[in-house]
Amino acid sequence: MLVGGYAIALNSVFIAASVFFYCVLALSLVVRTSEEWRIQLSAGARQWVLWAVVLMPWFVALSVTAVVLKPDFVAAMPTWFRALSHWHHINVFHIYSWHSLLVLLFVGIALNSVIRHARQFLGHQTTLAKLLSLDAFIVRGNRGSTVIYAVTAGLLRPKVFISPALQAKLNDAENDIVSRHEFAHQQRLDPLRKLCFSFLVAFYLPFIGNSLRREFSLCLELAADDYAAAGGLGGSNVASTVIKLCRLSRGQHHFANPLPCHFYASEIEARVHYQLRPERGRGFPLSLFTVLLCVLLASCLLSVDSYHHAVEAIFSH
């Protein structure tokens, strides 16, 4: 049993972890039941929805923990609120209890995510080095190369790579679309955003997390397609260029690292349908997510201590 500062720190992690996992489970249900609704949103709005899904558990967990650890704030609340949100033994932490298991689970997932994404980062740097070498090799006079690629790589200073072989097979309008598409990825630091999002979504169950990663990557491509279409070339021309590049890239080498943004590596059918649909999609439902955030905050704050004692009734210290 620990008493004092270490106990407060571990209890804080336990409170945050328990609230965090509750929010993750609740939002997983929201994600699974709102797939058709999200398709109706614009690319930008879908990105905001996905960021809200991965950031909301952190915000709620930190907010609830901060409130519970502030005795002055809790003391100013009504009696019923203090009874529900007061943590009765914040200065004591029992090591050989279920509290430790939850803390270890959270720390384990966090460490695993850090290690996995550090490896992704190193792999991305290797991919960037290969692209730089390939680009330099072609620029030095090897224009006969048949390698086709259009990709943006690099985290803090992303670079755009478009092969001469690809440019030779496209007309001026199509080359403009590809250039504007990759320029959008470069200006928005999309490879870095993919890395950050992938880290945050690692706390979800694998089948949910992988689905969210794919959807986020698709949204980045849809947003870049929108930027290309906004240059006056139109959605139909962007859609036809996407199809053409998909056909040209068959049999070409694809880099395994998930962080670079490939023009032709995402869901082609979804991108084509998005550009050809008559409406651009709805905006971000701010009021809906404000209500969802308030519900999560209230439910967690008012049950953080009661659920803890309910579990203790089954698994005592």
Does residue 134 contact residue 151 with C-beta atoms inside 8 Å? no
Number of domains within the chain: 1
pLDDT (0 to 100) of residue 110: 92
Strands in 156-281 per DSSP E: 159-162, 261-262
Return the higher-pLDDT residue of 17 and 100. 17
CA–CA distance, 141 with 308 (Å, rounded to integer): 69
Work out whether the CA dihedral 61, 67, 70, 74 comes out positive or negative: negative
Structural domain of 239: 2-314
d(CA 173, CA 175): 5
Query: pLDDT at residue 27 above 80?
Result: yes
Is residue 153 within 8 Å of 133, Cβ to Cβ? no
Residue 291's pLDDT band (cuts 50, 70, 90): very high
Tens of pLDDT, residues 119-144 = 989 888 888 887 787 766 665 555 55
Residue-level pLDDT at 2: 61
Q: Residue 317 — pLDDT band, cuts 50, 70, 90? A: very low
Q: Looking at 35-44, 59-68, 277-286, which range is the least confident one?
A: 277-286
The yes-or-no verdict on residue 314 having pLDDT over 90 is: no
**Residue range 163-216, pLDDT digits in tens:** 888 888 889 999 999 999 999 999 999 999 999 999 999 999 999 999 999 999
Q: Which of 14-23, 70-79, 115-124, 297-306 has the lowest mean pLDDT?
A: 70-79
Q: Model-level pTM?
A: 0.86
Taking residue 145's Cβ as centre, other Cβ atoms within 10 Å add up to 12
